[in-house]
Structure 1
Amino acid sequence: MKLLKLTYIAHGYYLGFFNKPLIQNRVQAWKYGPVIPELYGVIKRFGTSSVDIELMDLYSEKDLSEKDEEFISLLWNAYKGSSGTKLSALTHTKGSPWSQVFNGQHNVDIPNDIIADYYSNLINKNMDEQQQPA
């Protein structure tokens, strides 16, 4: 679950910062939150165990730019201590893209423009809070 949620969150922040997708895969609203079905299909066999990194290398993007690698590294450092359950809760908050489109059925696409708007607003809110005097 942690890998799924981190990938989704990274995609969301990337859309919010750069207004372009980090991944080309579609994102869907499932019962337990946003899911990237293609990634889920690759990792579901691991269950709650760690994902085999060598297997993931077969499916990963080999041509990430240095900027993208740095972005992913920064995001990993910010969220690596969070459990899959905590990350899942973050993706379920009121107003989140998942909450905007989930209607009780699987396979409902979450459009990138909804994800971009949400994360852009989250980024702006965090920047505003940091700029306020203590």
Structure 2
Amino acid sequence: MTYNCFDIAEFFTKLAKEEGQGIDPMKLLKLTYIAHGWYLGITGKPLFHNQIQAWKYGSVIPDLYFPIKIFGKNNVDPYIFKLYTKNKLSKEDKDFLKKIWNNYKDFSGLQLSALTHEEGSPWSQVWDGNHNAIIENSIIKDYYEHKLND
């Protein structure tokens, strides 16, 4: 099933809260994007339907960015997603997201951003200084499939 980015972001904010950790907007954006990438690489299907763009500081999901930017450098509270979440995550997808969380939860937003800027990354392939360059799922899928085989 394809979700929306808010379903995924809400899940991560709830996990963070359960573990007594915070998750600021940058970390949440990057984590949601990275989860989408790995999901594409593993299943060949998108995790969510929202568009991803290449911005100066990396891959951004505009639909998620604008509602959570109000938190600034503070932790995002899961309540913000009540207006946006629509889908119940399957057990399999929750398990997948928990694995992503466990692998990346100790990274800061800046560290995750640096990962999205690596040479050959989808962002580096499309970034040309244009703030709204679309990163197609096919590019993301190819990149994460390649990472799986490394």
What TM-score comes out, normalization by structure 1 length?
A: 0.90
Distance 2:53 2:45 in 1: 18
- Deviations, residues 11-33 of structure 1 (Å, cap 9, x unaligned): 00000000000010000000110
- Pick the aligned partner of 2:105 from 73, 76, 80: 80
Q: What is the root-mean-square deviation in Å for CA atoms of aligned residues?
A: 0.9
Query: Can you give the 5+ residue segments of structure 2 that lack an aligned partner in the other structure?
Result: 1-25
Query: Can you give the 5+ residue segments of structure 1 that lack an aligned partner in the other structure?
Result: 126-134
SS of equivalent residue, structure 1 residue 50 = coil
Aligned counterparts, 1:49-68, within 5 A:
49-68=74-93
1:109 aligns with 2:134: yes
Shift of 1:98: 0.1
Aligned counterparts, 1:92-103, within 5 A:
92-103=117-128
What is the identity percentage for the equivalent residue pairs of Structure 1 and Structure 2? 58
- Alignment length (residue pairs): 125
SS of equivalent residue, structure 1 residue 88 = helix
Larger radius of gyration: 1
SS of equivalent residue, structure 2 residue 89 = coil
- Deviations, residues 32-68 of structure 1 (Å, cap 9, x unaligned): 1000000001101111000111112432343211111
Counterpart in 2 of 1:46? 71
- Pick the aligned partner of 1:28 from 32, 44, 53: 53
What TM-score comes out, normalization by structure 2 length?
A: 0.81
Structure with more contact order per residue of length (Cα contacts < 8 Å, sep ≥ 6): 1
